[in-house]
Amino acid sequence: MVDKIQEEENVVWCPQSAAVGPMIIAEGNALHSLRTRISDPDNVLQSWDPTLVNPCTWFLVTCDSNNHVVRLDLGNSNISGSLGSELGELNHLQYLELYSNNLRGKIPKELGKLKNLISMDLYGNKFEGNIPKSFAKLKSLRFFDVSNNDLCGTIPVDGPFKSFTMESFEHNKLNGPELKGLVPYDFGC
């Protein structure tokens, strides 16, 4: 048996026995919003069905035992478009793999809210603008690569950025590491 859950204008279906919390619905909505922003000529996201309350059955999405999204594997998927602030709602996300696509625009500062993030691979796209200052709050971040984009400004040195090699920032329009109090963060943009 299936129950219909309506939250604002979003309609989702779920098995009657499933325990569905607002967090899981928000994660599904965030991923669906991402899906509407990007072009997917190879249909790698065809399983991303917004009528399912739980995105854990979608290809390229990995969840933990509590059905929270912990990994998004869209690297080398031939997708294009832009990222939106809604990705900051994936509170349990640990791995964000978006490398080698044709993604454009600014990297959303809201990704700085993902306190569980361990790895962010955005290399090989066409992102522009600064590396968001909010990323300095990502205390769990151990792997970070934004090489081969169109980013500008200075390379941050706060938080986890102290430990990343210069190769993570190559082939951008970035200036050397930020000099605290001497060089504005957005210098060169």
Q: How far apart are CA 128 and CA 107, in angstroms?
A: 7
Q: Are 141 and 160 in contact (CB under 8 A)?
A: yes
Look at residue 5 in the predicted model and tell me its pLDDT: 40
| pTM listed for this prediction | 0.83
Q: How far apart are CA 182 and CA 63, in angstroms?
A: 43
And the tokens for 167?
A: 């190769």
Q: How far apart are CA 128 and CA 15, in angstroms?
A: 42
| Per-residue pLDDT in tens (0 to 9) along the chain, 189 residues | 333 343 434 433 333 334 455 566 889 999 999 999 999 999 999 999 988 768 999 999 999 999 999 999 999 999 999 999 999 999 999 999 999 999 999 999 999 999 999 999 999 999 999 999 999 999 999 999 999 999 998 888 888 988 888 889 999 988 766 545 445 555 557
And the tokens for 82?
A: 């832009």
Instruction: Give the contacts of 128 (CB within 8 A, at least 6 positions apart).
Output: 104, 105, 106, 149, 150, 151, 152
Neighbours of 59 (CB within 10 A): 10
Look at residue 21 in the predicted model and tell me its pLDDT: 57
Query: Cβ-count burial of 39 within 10 angstroms (0-12 exposed, 13-18 middle, 19+ buried)?
Result: exposed
Q: How far apart are CA 77 and CA 73, in angstroms?
A: 9
